[in-house]
Structure 1
Amino acid sequence: MRIRFWLKTVVVAVCVLGLTMPAFAKKSAQKDNLVDVKTAWVTGQESFPVWLAKKQGWDKEKGMNIITTVYGSGNEALEDFSVNNWAIGGLGAIPTLRGAKDGNMLVIALANDESDANAVMVRPGSPILNKKGVASSYPNVYGSAVDIRRKSFIVTPLSSSHYTLIKYLEVLGVSPREVDVKFIDQALGLLSFEHAKADAAVFWAPYTFMASGKGYVTASTAYDVNARLPIFIVVNKAYAEQYPEITKNFLAIYMRGIHWLLNAPRADVVKEMQTYYKDVFGLDYSETMLDLNFNVFKLFNLAKQKELFAAGENGVSKVQAWQESIAQFVLNYGSVHKSLEKNIIGSKYVVPTFINMIEESDLK
């Protein structure tokens, strides 16, 4: 399970050699003396910049051979991370917390923000839709305390959908104890919701797309209740300390891919994305589905990333603040041992070091 989980049945297996700490950046005899950089991803949009880099040969330009493994979930990726089988990758906020709690993971950039892809959804005619903007600071949120209390909600436990629900209830002044929370997997949750097993359900993409296609209505997205849900670029802390130049060069390549996504003609982007999903995951994505992706998954250019990672007046960056809110959720509803709390409180593992090394010239 991760902040976002696309299609459970799709797992692309890439042969991965065992990686030990001293051999993190060993030379590849088959790759013209390039440095192998082992990376990890979960099925979705965020590995596209790496795919594009391989296709264009950008990694070779930087003296690297990027090796990609795609996992079925963030938890699967973390199992391999714990034995040093990959150095850099993309993870959702909650899997990142699990990786950071042991003190050996750093967040160095944003892959995207999926806050608009997570939504509290109800049936047409639901009383939850009777009122909108009851909390003046959240004008797009449907519902009121009266209409929400004693209602039942389907969510996946300790996930982005669970976090979204908690923030939604908080905005409306309702305690989780005042509603009936049904913990169900996303796919089964959608089926259960179709059979009227709950008053509302909280989904992430592509289940939000599926639910919308069935006529269900969004009462609130995570973004609407300020529950920001980033997908992070993370790195093994020991690797980053041992190989800062490789880490910086990888991030430069990744940001070059994001720059292309944000600036290339949409027709070119859609064509490449369709090829990417087909080649990597065996998925045929229509232009409509890809447009939905671009509408709900926010990308950040280099200047915006530097802004979001910069410390504010209180010494905390916006990215740290997002993650700190999620950390509090995990500490309240998860099972983090007290001795490990110090590694996630304050989100000190979110660092601007490497994004600040990247220049606009690296993106061309």
Structure 2
Amino acid sequence: MIKLTRLIKTFSLCSVLVSGLSFADDLPSVKTTMFLEQEGFLMWYAKEQGWDKELGIDIKLEISRTNGVDVMNKHRENPDVWNITAASSIPFIIGSSNMDLKIIGMACDDGPSTSVMVRKDSDILKVKGYNRDYPEICGSPETIKGKTFLVKGISSGAYTLAAWLDIFNLNFSSVVVKDITGPEILKEMENKNVEGAGLWSPDTYESEYIGYQKVTTAANIDEYIPIMFLADNNFLKDNEDTVAKFLAVYIRAVEKQREDAAQLVPSYQKFLKQYTGRDFSESVCLKDLKDHKIYTLNEQLSMFEAKDNKKSEIHKIQRALTAGLMLIMKDMPSQNPNIRIANHLKDDSYITDKYLKLAKKYSKY
């Protein structure tokens, strides 16, 4: 009798598990690629809490350590690889030609966490205030010219490096720029011939372990690095509610961070350990969370709003970044034929607040 009771309990438990798995398989899914940084963490955290399932969707999340152009290229080769991604405007502007994508939301501003890192013993750090507009920024033409800097392709790191060089009336032709994609960039930075790199967190923190320090962030030199949610338009047409719920899930994680970033630190440590294999201190994790400016649903709706024949704030940001990128691309030519200013930027309809508005009915915030 005891054995029969155990058998019934075991069967019942298996039935519950199978039922749960079947339920998850039946949910509308969203294939999502995000980067190993703060906004990727927020979506990872939301999934850990089961918030996507609460709204009746299944966010299939991939965390990437490459760069935005690589993510664009993968989608071009296989549009089914992701439905929505979060990437800086930079790869979207120069890496998404002939791709039917729309900007549907904003993940964060990466400006305070995208940096130019240089060796701690670099002569660059011995000179400060060369440009009177930026009295706290180190460097001079003499200490920078001819030095070797690493970037992850034409990325937000490369953009920040170019903006920093411009302070000294320099450009990529004034230095040696090497393109190294992925975590291999940190290994290459151990080469003594390398002077610095344009990176974003957590690579910036990892570079500190191997003898580098920050010479500037993008924000320090008045540059804005918006991380946008980009969606495949074909997916959008058939999955309006699913996309709205996706944004609502992310907004819930945003509100959790705004409520108290410190409460997320243990989870952020776990996330970084899982994907880098390295332990990050509580102070580093808390700083990085706070360094990313995040936006409520209402703040995003305001930024996306275009009225009275005026361009939206998001549109103006895209136009400003496009102008800056044209200068970078002149000095850093790419062998990739798909690297050029995207043709859809001529049409304002590539920016839409439709899904943010729909998200309001699924969000408490």
User: Retained in 1: the 8 A contact 2:95–2:341?
Assistant: no
Q: Which residue of 2 aligns with 1:287?
A: 282
Count of aligned pairs between the two proteins: 336
Q: For residues 133 and 360 of structure 1, what CA distance do their matches in structure 2 show? A: 51
Amino acid in structure 2 at the alignment position of 1:79: K
Alignment of 1:75-94 (within 5 A): 75=70, 78-80=73-75, 82-94=78-90
Structure 1 residues 311 and 144, CA gap change in structure 2 (3 angstroms): farther
User: Retained in 2: the 8 A contact 1:227–1:322?
Assistant: no
User: Retained in 2: the 8 A contact 1:38–1:87?
Assistant: yes
Counterpart check, 1:66 vs 2:62: no
| Offset from partner CA, 1:256-303 (integer Å, 9 cap, x none) | 11111211462x212333444566777654323312421433322233
Structure 2 alignment gaps of length 5 or more: 1-20
Structure 1 residues 85 and 292, CA gap change in structure 2 (3 angstroms): same
Structure 1 residues 130 and 347, CA gap change in structure 2 (3 angstroms): farther
CA RMSD of aligned residues (A): 3.6
Q: 303, 306, 317: which one pairs with 2:301?
A: 306
Secondary structure of the 1:53 match is helix
Q: For residues 191 and 272 of structure 2, what CA distance do their matches in structure 1 show? A: 32
Give the greater-gyration-radius structure (CA). Answer: 2
User: Retained in 2: the 8 A contact 1:62–1:249?
Assistant: yes
Q: For residues 192 and 279 of structure 1, what CA distance do their matches in structure 2 show? A: 22
User: Retained in 1: the 8 A contact 2:55–2:245?
Assistant: yes
Alignment of 1:194-205 (within 5 A): 194-205=190-201
User: Retained in 1: the 8 A contact 2:134–2:221?
Assistant: yes
Amino acid in structure 2 at the alignment position of 1:250: F
Q: Which residue of 1 aligns with 2:35?
A: 42
Q: For residues 315 and 213 of structure 2, what CA distance do their matches in structure 1 show? A: 32
Amino acid in structure 2 at the alignment position of 1:143: G
Identical aligned pairs, as a percentage? 26
Secondary structure of the 1:354 match is helix
Structure 1 residues 282 and 35, CA gap change in structure 2 (3 angstroms): farther
TM-score by length of 1: 0.75
Greater helix proportion? 2
Q: Which residue of 1 aligns with 2:15?
A: none
Secondary structure of the 1:344 match is helix
Structure 1 residues 336 and 30, CA gap change in structure 2 (3 angstroms): same
Structure 1 alignment gaps of length 5 or more: 1-27
Q: For residues 49 and 339 of structure 2, what CA distance do their matches in structure 1 show? A: 46
Q: For residues 217 and 340 of structure 1, what CA distance do their matches in structure 2 show? A: 33
Q: Which residue of 1 aligns with 2:157?
A: 161
User: Retained in 2: the 8 A contact 1:186–1:207?
Assistant: no
Counterpart check, 1:225 vs 2:221: yes
Displacement of 1:354 in angstroms is 2.2
Q: Which residue of 2 aligns with 1:118?
A: 114
Q: For residues 71 and 351 of structure 1, what CA distance do their matches in structure 2 show? A: 25
Q: Which residue of 1 aligns with 2:235?
A: 239
Structure 1 residues 95 and 227, CA gap change in structure 2 (3 angstroms): same
Counterpart check, 1:54 vs 2:50: no
| Offset from partner CA, 1:293-336 (integer Å, 9 cap, x none) | 21433322233323333349984434334434444426544455
User: Retained in 1: the 8 A contact 2:95–2:342?
Assistant: no
Displacement of 1:129 in angstroms is 3.3
Q: Which residue of 2 aligns with 1:319?
A: 314
Secondary structure of the 1:351 match is coil
Secondary structure of the 1:174 match is coil
